[in-house]
Amino acid sequence: MARLIYGWLPEERDCDVQVAVRVQGQWNVMAASDASIRDDDEVILFAPATAVARHEVDLPARGEMEARRAAPYAVEEEIAVAAESQHVALGPRMPLGEPRIVYVIEESFMDHWAELIEEIGAPKAVIAAEQEVIPEEPTVIELGDRALANLDDRKFAVDMAMASNLLRALIRSHDEAIEVVGADLAAALGATMARPVEGHPLLQLISMAEARPPLVDLRQGRFKPRRDFSGVDVGAWRWPAALAAAAAMGWLLVSVLETASLNSAAEEMRAEAERRYAVAYPNEPVPRNIVQATRRNTSGSGASGAIDFVSAAALLYEGLQDVEGTSLRSIRFDRDAGSMRANIGYPNYGADTELAQRLEQSGLTVTLGDSRQDGSQVIGDVTLEVSR
């Protein structure tokens, strides 16, 4: 059964890691080497606040990579050391306009702690700063050889040997009531003790951590734990992999069918374009590039003085609108001859003459063909040319 284990990382290089393991409902503090840490244990190790600086800065970055690159320079003036020698860990993303928590630690400390984590057999352990568990209210807490403080919206730690002078000055300038935890610290500050420190200092951290939201892991960037795939059961992924392969094959099949359908539609559109071109230009062979040929035929680039398709069609439709009851049945354009022949439906005999007169007023030469009765309509041909 997986266990939750808390630990305390040393600031000195010749000290061991201490951990607390819950046994029968009680936390027992021991050396990490005696805890027999297993792979499935959840391990949270506290980094001493005297080795970790906590800052709140504005990081107007779009993404995490950009924020991580900007963070060292955002705190460089406050840490008074070269940013390149420091490891930076970011707190959770905040709403726009609110400052973001940035932890700064010397990379040498992180390298040392990474080695200790491997030595105690907890490669996936979380490293959390002690500042993470300090209450939000103004507080100073005795914690072994140092004191944790939350004063003037800053969370930090000082050595107990220096705590009396520094903290007394800060407390004296503070308007709000300050909770002092620990008898020795209260005596050094000449303040009233709110409550004593109970048991081992690590247990004090644990009691505060259990009332806090998830802690920020300082193991970010190159210190981020590597994912272990050694325990992955490949066989358990056989069915998901098969489903993924089937889905990929299905997508490929649909793509092939869609491509075939598009090719078929393109062939049908080509055949229809060829048919329409042959109707419009009966005296010309169907060209390979129908679009280019149609543009050439309708651009008026034919024989000098010949009518172009667009102009003839526009004049014809204008004339049809002026003669009530007429309708266009078909149209053919001969670019080489410079003429357009239209088959028109008339409401009665004599309407063709009226249409011819309207078209001749536009400067065209109009030739009427034979007319015949077709049901309720009179059908006849009209040929349009440029007047000579």
The answer to whether position 28 is within a domain reads yes
| Rounded distance between C-alpha atoms, residue 288 and residue 238, angstroms | 53
The total domain count for the chain is 3
The beta-carbon contacts of 229-237 under 8 Å, at least 24 apart in sequence, are: 231/39
Domain boundary among 173, 191, 223: 223
265-294 burial code (b ≥16 CB/10 A, e <16)? eeeeeeeeeeeebeebbeeeeeeeeeeebb
CB distance 304 to 385 below 8 Å: no
Tokens of 200: 């081992």
Residues 68 and 28 in one domain: yes
Domain boundary among 215, 246, 264: 264
Q: Residue 49 has what pLDDT?
A: 93
The answer to whether position 76 is within a domain reads yes
Any idea what the Cα angle at residue 309 is, between residues 303 and 315, rounded to 5°?
120
Residues 315 and 248 in one domain: no
| Residue-wise DSSP of 296-308 | HHTTT-SSTTPPP
Q: Residue 228 has what pLDDT?
A: 60
Residues 85 and 20 in one domain: yes
Q: Which of 67-81, 138-152, 363-377 has the highest mean pLDDT?
A: 138-152
Give SS3 for 268.
Answer: helix
In this predicted structure, which of 144-153, 231-240, 244-253 has the lowest mean pLDDT?
231-240
> Which structural domain range is residue 115 located in?
4-133+199-223
User: What is residue 195's DSSP assignment?
Assistant: B
Residues 239 and 347 in one domain: no
CB distance 55 to 104 below 8 Å: yes
CB distance 133 to 143 below 8 Å: no
Residues 26 and 101 in one domain: yes
Residue 291 has pLDDT above 70, yes or no: no
Residues 313 and 355 in one domain: yes
Confidence of residue 252 (pLDDT cuts 50, 70, 90): confident
Residues 115 and 252 in one domain: no
The answer to whether position 74 is within a domain reads yes
| Rounded distance between C-alpha atoms, residue 125 and residue 39, angstroms | 10
The answer to whether position 158 is within a domain reads no
Residue 263 has pLDDT above 80, yes or no: no
Residues 104 and 212 in one domain: yes
Smallest Cα–Cα separation from 73: which of 92, 86, 54?
86
Residues 203 and 76 in one domain: yes
Residues 72 and 203 in one domain: yes
- What average pLDDT score do residues 260-275 get? 71
Confidence of residue 304 (pLDDT cuts 50, 70, 90): very low
Residues 6+ apart with CB under 8 A from 310: 298, 300
41-80 burial code (b ≥16 CB/10 A, e <16)? bebbbbbbbbbbbbbbeebebeeeeebbebbbebbeeebe
| Rounded distance between C-alpha atoms, residue 129 and residue 111, angstroms | 16
Residue 121 has pLDDT above 90, yes or no: yes
The answer to whether position 301 is within a domain reads yes
The answer to whether position 276 is within a domain reads no
Tokens of 349: 């005999």
Q: Residue 300 has what pLDDT?
A: 47
Residues 247 and 299 in one domain: no
The answer to whether position 147 is within a domain reads no
Please write the tens of the pLDDT for every residue from 310-345: 777 878 888 888 888 888 888 888 877 778 889 999
The answer to whether position 69 is within a domain reads yes
Q: Residue 324 has what pLDDT?
A: 86
Phi and psi at residue 161, to the nearest 5°: -65, -25
Confidence of residue 180 (pLDDT cuts 50, 70, 90): very high
C-alpha to C-alpha distances, 114 to 19, 209, 225, 275, nearest whole angstrom: 16, 22, 9, 78
| Rounded distance between C-alpha atoms, residue 121 and residue 185, angstroms | 36
- Whichever domain contains 355, its CATH number is 3.30.1360.100
Cite the beta strand spans of the chain per DSSP E: 4-8, 18-23, 26-31, 42-47, 52-57, 86-90, 100-106, 126-129, 139-143, 146-151, 154-159, 179-181, 327-334, 339-346, 364-374, 377-386
Residues 255 and 359 in one domain: no
- Whichever domain contains 20, its CATH number is 3.30.420.380
**116 vs 64, higher pLDDT:** 116
**163 vs 207, higher pLDDT:** 207
Confidence of residue 302 (pLDDT cuts 50, 70, 90): very low
In this predicted structure, which of 95-104, 238-247, 372-381 has the lowest mean pLDDT?
238-247
